[in-house]
């Protein structure tokens, strides 16, 4: 492309920052069209971002910063960001980040890297934040196209964040689900069968996938109640499950309307004792939220449910089960693959620079106090 053609291409592009509810609603059709054409995950859909925004309790403390690239009347890129506040520091980060396992930009094949770079620079130059935090990037994330290019450009210098996040996957060439179970150590298989037996001692046990026409609300109410009970016992909290759980229900509804939802339960005498909200995309079963009744903890119904839906997935020819983010111990026991997610951070102003400095000092102090651990192979 010659210099004149390059200039004309730039002029044909139009950058926009969406910062209002009305404008977010107005671009639904164009965003959804781009999302469907891009085979992107539900996390990058208009429905997901708008459901999060609509049900956000502290909306007055959060500001939308959704970057768009237009070519004429066609939307060719969406960078869904927001400014949030934590401990007095304003973060520019993924919109709906608290509920999103994989963050990314949504872009059409015809959208050049240079346009993404210009959009990123435009968002950074708009200001209003102290720190940039772009995290949970898969190795093939489209966002790496502009983050790598922009890390040493513009007024904000991005650097790798000192946080390690992983996603765990189950994939292999098992002939069927039973063969996958048989591939585990004897103790693991025994624990799974013991869990089923203990549940059966309490009543009739049934594992099932909810029918697409079945009402979701009763199961989601039960899920939220079980999760609150578990969180209370473990001195934790989550806004996703508070009250009538509007955010949970809205986000699950997005999955259902998109046709990707797979909601599994284990029931004892018709009462749900374990629930897993999953979705299927890209030939992969993805496990978003799983919980169980802590009153049945000795039977490990959550683990039984995972074993059941993994077998279900393999028997139906899915290539992988993705347990998504988090380093929980049960994922270590089941995963055949672990993917490290990328994360970058950068200071937007002096407050951000001080926050980064304080965080770095605190991290080094904690590392200095940490006891030396015996390498796993020697323990």
- Tens of pLDDT, residue by residue over 63-112, are 999 999 999 999 999 999 999 999 899 999 999 999 999 999 999 999 99
Q: How many helices (H) and strands (E) does the chain have?
A: 13, 14
Q: Give the pLDDT confidence score for residue 267 in this predicted structure.
A: 98
For residue 369, what pLDDT band results from cuts at 50, 70 and 90?
very low
Q: What is the mean pLDDT of residues 217-226?
A: 96
Q: Give the pLDDT confidence score for residue 237 in this predicted structure.
A: 83
Token look-up 């624990």 returns: 191
How far CA 121 is from CA of 67, 118, 346, in Å, comes to 10, 5, 13
**Residues 322/156, Cβ–Cβ less than 8 Å:** no
Which of 291, 287, 295, 241 lies closest to 266, judged by CA? 291
pLDDT at residue 203 tops 70: yes
CA distance 151 to 144: 10
Q: What is the DSSP letter of 216?
A: S
pLDDT at residue 285 tops 70: yes
Q: Give the pLDDT confidence score for residue 149 in this predicted structure.
A: 54
CA distance 264 to 34: 30
For residue 363, what pLDDT band results from cuts at 50, 70 and 90?
low
Domains of the chain, CATH where assigned: 3-163+342-367 (3.40.630.30), 172-318 (3.40.630.30)
Is the sign of the CA dihedral 279, 282, 285, 286 positive or negative? negative
> What mean pLDDT, rounded, does the chain reach?
90
Percent of the chain predicted with pLDDT > 90: 78
- What value, to the nearest 5°, has the Cα angle with vertex 275 and ends 182 and 282? 70
The model's pTM: 0.91
User: Per the structure block, which two tokens stand in for 117?
Assistant: 């770079």
pLDDT at residue 9 tops 90: no
Q: Give the pLDDT confidence score for residue 361 in this predicted structure.
A: 53
- Tens of pLDDT, residue by residue over 321-336, are 999 998 788 898 899 9
Q: Give the pLDDT confidence score for residue 66 in this predicted structure.
A: 98
pLDDT at residue 371 tops 60: no
Q: What is the DSSP string of 128-189?
A: --SEEEEEEE-TT-TTHHHHHHHTTSSS---EE-S--EEEEEE----SSHHHHHHTS-HHHH
Q: Give the pLDDT confidence score for residue 359 in this predicted structure.
A: 75
357-363 — which CB contacts under 8 Å span 24+ positions? Answer: 359/162, 360/162, 363/162
Q: What is the mean pLDDT of residues 203-224?
A: 97
């Amino acid at each position: 492309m010659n210099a004149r053609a390059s200039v004309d291409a730039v002029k044909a592009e139009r950058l926009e920052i969406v910062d209002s509810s009305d404008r977010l609603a107005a671009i639904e059709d164009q965003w959804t069209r781009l999302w469907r054409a891009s085979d992107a995950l539900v996390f990058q859909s208009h429905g997901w971002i708008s459901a999060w925004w609509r049900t956000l309790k502290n909306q007055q403390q959060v500001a939308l910063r959704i970057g768009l690239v237009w070519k004429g009347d066609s939307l060719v890129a969406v960078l869904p960001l927001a400014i949030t506040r934590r401990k007095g520091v304003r973060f520019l980060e993924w919109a709906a980040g608290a509920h999103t396992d994989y963050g990314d930009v949504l872009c059409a094949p015809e959208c050049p890297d240079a346009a993404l770079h210009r959009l990123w620079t435009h968002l950074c130059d708009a200001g209003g934040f102290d720190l940039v935090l772009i995290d949970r990037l898969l190795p093939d994330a489209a966002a790496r196209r502009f983050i790598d290019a922009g890390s040493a450009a513009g007024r904000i210098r991005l650097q790798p964040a000192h946080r390690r996040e992983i996603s765990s996957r189950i994939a292999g060439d098992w002939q069927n689900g039973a063969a996958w179970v048989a591939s585990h150590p004897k103790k693991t298989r025994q624990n799974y069968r013991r869990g089923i037996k203990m549940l059966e001692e309490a009543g009739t046990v049934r594992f099932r996938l909810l029918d697409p026409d079945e009402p979701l609300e009763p199961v989601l109410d039960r899920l939220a109640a079980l999760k609150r009970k578990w969180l209370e016992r473990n001195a934790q909290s989550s806004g996703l499950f508070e009250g009538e759980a509007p955010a949970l229900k809205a986000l699950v509804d997005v999955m259902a309307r998109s046709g990707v939802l797979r909601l599994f339960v284990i029931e004892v005498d018709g009462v749900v004792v374990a629930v897993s909200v999953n979705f299927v995309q890209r030939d992969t079963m993805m496990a978003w939220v799983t919980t169980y009744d802590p009153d049945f903890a000795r039977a490990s119904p959550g683990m039984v449910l995972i074993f059941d839906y993994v077998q279900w997935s393999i028997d139906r020819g899915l290539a992988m089960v993705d347990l998504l983010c988090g380093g929980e111990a049960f994922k270590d026991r089941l995963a055949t693959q672990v993917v490290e997610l990328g994360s970058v951070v950068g200071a937007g102003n002096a407050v951000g620079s001080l926050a980064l400095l304080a965080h770095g000092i605190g991290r080094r102090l904690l590392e200095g106090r940490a006891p030396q651990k015996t390498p796993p192979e020697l323990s």
